[in-house]
A = this chain, B = another copy of it.
Amino acid sequence: MKAELVSVGTELLLGEIVDTNAAFMSQRLAEIGVDVHFRHTVGDNLGRIVSVLELALSRSDAVLICGGLGPTQDDLTRESVAEVTERPLTLVAEAEERLRELFARRGYAFTRNNLKQATVPEGGRLLENTCGTAPGLLVEHRGKLLIAVPGPPPEMREMMEREVLPRLRERLGEHVTPVFSRVLRMADIGESSLVAQIDDIIRAQTDPTVAPYAKPGEVTLRLATKAASEEEAAPKLDGLERRLRQRVGDHIYGVDEETMEVAVGRALREAGATIAVAESCTGGLICSRITDVAGSSDYFLGGVVAYANDTKECVLGVPHETLVEHGAVSEPTALAMARGVRERLGADYAVATTGIAGPGGGTDEKPVGLVYLAVADADGAVCLEQNWPGTREQFKWRVSQYALNLVRKRVLGIEVGG
Q: Is the CB of A213 within 8 A of B393?
A: no
Which has the most chain B C-beta neighbours within 10 Å: A70, A282, A301, A302?
A302
Which one of B18, B190, B283, B291 contacts A307 once the chains associate, using CB atoms below 8 Å? B291
Determine how many copies of this chain the complex contains. 2
Q: Is the CB of A302 within 8 A of B307?
A: yes
State in angstroms the CA–CA spacing of A308 and B287 once bound together: 13
A11 to chain B, nearest CB (A): 6
State in angstroms the CA–CA spacing of A303 and B308 once bound together: 10
Q: Do A300 and B307 contact each other (CB < 8 Å), given the known contacts A41-B39, A109-B192?
A: yes
State in angstroms the CA–CA spacing of A13 and B11 once bound together: 21
Q: Is the CB of B48 within 8 A of A43?
A: no
A144 to chain B, nearest CB (A): 19
State in angstroms the CA–CA spacing of A295 and B195 once bound together: 39
Taking CB atoms, residues of chain B closer than 8 Å to A43 are: 37
Is there a chain B Cβ closer than 8 Å to A175's Cβ? no
A30 to chain B, nearest CB (A): 5
Is there a chain B Cβ closer than 8 Å to A111's Cβ? yes
Q: Do A213 and B300 contact each other (CB < 8 Å), given the known contacts A18-B18, A396-B292?
A: no
State in angstroms the CA–CA spacing of A290 and B307 once bound together: 11
Which one of B13, B38, B195 contacts A41 once the chains associate, using CB atoms below 8 Å? B38
Taking CB atoms, residues of chain B closer than 8 Å to A17 are: 23
State in angstroms the CA–CA spacing of A282 and B151 once bound together: 24
Is there a chain B Cβ closer than 8 Å to A322's Cβ? no
Q: Is the CB of B307 within 8 A of A304?
A: no
Taking CB atoms, residues of chain B closer than 8 Å to A105 are: 387, 389
Which one of B28, B131, B196 contacts A15 once the chains associate, using CB atoms below 8 Å? B28
Contacts of A339-360 to chain B: CB distance below 8 A? 344-346, 357-360
Which one of B107, B109, B391 contacts A131 once the chains associate, using CB atoms below 8 Å? B391
A233 to chain B, nearest CB (A): 15
Which one of B36, B72, B158, B191 contacts A72 once the chains associate, using CB atoms below 8 Å? B191
Taking CB atoms, residues of chain B closer than 8 Å to A306 are: 302
Q: Do A303 and B301 contact each other (CB < 8 Å), given the known contacts A37-B45, A71-B192?
A: no
Is there a chain B Cβ closer than 8 Å to A229's Cβ? no
Contacts of A41-76 to chain B: CB distance below 8 A? 41-45, 48, 52, 55, 70-74
A105 to chain B, nearest CB (A): 6
Q: Is the CB of B284 within 8 A of A288?
A: yes
Q: Is the CB of A38 within 8 A of B48?
A: yes
Q: Do A345 and B191 contact each other (CB < 8 Å), given the known contacts A283-B287, A284-B288?
A: no
Taking CB atoms, residues of chain B closer than 8 Å to A284 are: 277, 279, 284-291, 303, 305
Taking CB atoms, residues of chain B closer than 8 Å to A182 are: none
Which has the most chain B C-beta neighbours within 10 Å: A42, A55, A301?
A301
State in angstroms the CA–CA spacing of A374 and B294 once bound together: 24
Contacts of A378-399 to chain B: CB distance below 8 A? 387-394, 396
State in angstroms the CA–CA spacing of A345 and B310 once bound together: 8
Taking CB atoms, residues of chain B closer than 8 Å to A216 are: 152, 154
Taking CB atoms, residues of chain B closer than 8 Å to A181 are: 14
Is there a chain B Cβ closer than 8 Å to A22's Cβ? yes
State in angstroms the CA–CA spacing of A196 and B71 once bound together: 11
Q: Do A41 and B15 contact each other (CB < 8 Å), given the known contacts A290-B283, A292-B283, A305-B305?
A: no
Q: Is the CB of A394 within 8 A of B131?
A: yes
The contact string, 1 if C-beta is below 8 Å from chain B, for chain A 73-115, is 1100000000000000000000000000000011111110110
Q: Is the CB of B26 within 8 A of A15?
A: yes
Q: Is the CB of B192 within 8 A of A114?
A: yes
Report the 8 A-B pairs with minimum CB-CB distance, sorted nearest first: A283-B291, A15-B27, A284-B287, A15-B26, A302-B311, A39-B41, A284-B288, A284-B284
